[in-house]
Amino acid sequence: MSGFFERLLRRETNSAYQAKERMKTVLINDRVNMTSSTLDNLKSEIIGVISRHVEIDSDAVRIEMTHEGRQQRLIANIPLKPPRRRSSG
Amino acid sequence: MLGNVLTITSGKGGVGKTTATANIGAALAAAGNKVVCIDADIGLRNLDVVLGLENRIVYDLVDLIEGRCRMRQALIRDKRLPELFLIPAAQTRDKSAVSPSDMIKLCEELRKEFDWILIDSPAGIERGFRNAIAPADIAMVVTNPEVAAVRDADRIIGLIEAEEKGPARLLINRIKPGMVKRGEMLSPDDVLELLAVELIGMVPEDENVITSTNRGMPVALDGKSKAGEAFRNIAQRLLGSEVPFIPLEEDGGFIDRITKLFRSGGK
């Protein structure tokens, strides 16, 4: 079992692994030409719009860039708050 | 039947575009096709020296486009392969001497006479690239397993798709199998995963490329070179054969595998 972790550790320190991880981020940014501050603005505006209609857990909102092949995709995960129970009596 | 236009490009300079053009051209010609290689890197002429034809240049691409010579006069026939021709770049002009529509018109003429028209694109994403890609039927992107080359390849693949010349075919050049094995170089699989395009060939780093180029002889004509074998396989794939990708191995292993492949009836 320790062999497995050693291999994993070695993998993460080798330079090819680092190159690949760095390139994943660089290529996504190059392809969509979107800065992290643009993404932050987008996120707060989305939260604003949706909050006007339903109650959401704004701290748990996640907006992420993913890709399938060369197709980039913006994924938004917006958890809703459970409806408040009306107190009876 | 009209010939195919294959544009070889990369974004980043120095990854092996000219070497790839010369060798794929030579391999296609050796396989019985009539081939012309066009050096579209105006002002930085190089394909002539790689092919060993530098002493035969009279007219160049710009002379041809501007009507100072006839097609026949601009075509330089290779010394070894009678079906391989070169149209050299102009050395004293710049990229603005040629337009994308000039290249389209020129290739329309060449298609009638040649099976394959290979265009060696200059590095960069500006005019020279636009000229080279305009007439392309097939766009090939050359990269090295190295961060700067991969990043530029991704940019150029995006531009090829935007010009509706895709899907781009990827040639990964100068792979060092030993380094890949040690985890110190991006593997072909890593590069393919990052760029998400179709692979057309993997060429290992090979000193024979330098020694052949020193002599002005394409390494694809050297039966013993690993890189030469890889370039011949790319030519076969372009011709429609399903040639398996030979796993890259450290010195010795690669040749052994090819030898085994041939012995087991691969040919």
Is residue B51's pLDDT more than 50? Answer: yes
Which residues are CB-neighbours of A23 under 8 A, at least 6 positions away? B147, B150, B151, B186, B194
* Residue A35 Cα, gap to closest chain B Cα (Å): 17
Q: Does B162 touch chain A (CB under 8 A)?
A: no
Summarised one tens digit per residue, pLDDT across range B183-233 is 999 999 999 999 999 999 999 999 999 999 999 999 999 999 999 999 999
Domain residues for B174?
A: 4-266
**Spatial CA neighbour of B150 closest among B117, B190, B181:** B190
Residue B26 has phi, psi (to 5 degrees) of -65, -40
* Residue B183 Cα, gap to closest chain A Cα (Å): 5
Provide the number of structural domains found in chain B. 1
Residue B28 has what DSSP assignment? Answer: H
* Residue A6 Cα, gap to closest chain B Cα (Å): 14
DSSP string over B126-161: SHHHHHHHTT-SEEEEEE-SSHHHHHHHHHHHHHHH
CATH number at residue B116: 3.40.50.300
Q: Which of A14, A18, A27 to mutate: most B Cβ within 10 Å?
A: A27
Nearest residue of chain A to residue B145 (CA atoms): A16
Summarised one tens digit per residue, pLDDT across range B133-162 is 999 999 999 999 999 999 999 999 999 999
The band of A17, judged by pLDDT with boundaries at 50, 70 and 90, is very high
Query: What are the extents of the domains in chain A?
Result: 1-33, 34-82
Given this model, what pLDDT does residue B266 score?
Answer: 42
Residue A54 has phi, psi (to 5 degrees) of -135, 160
B110 touches B3 (CB < 8 A): yes
**Which residue has 């076969």 as its token pair?**
B236
Query: pTM to 2 decimals?
Result: 0.85
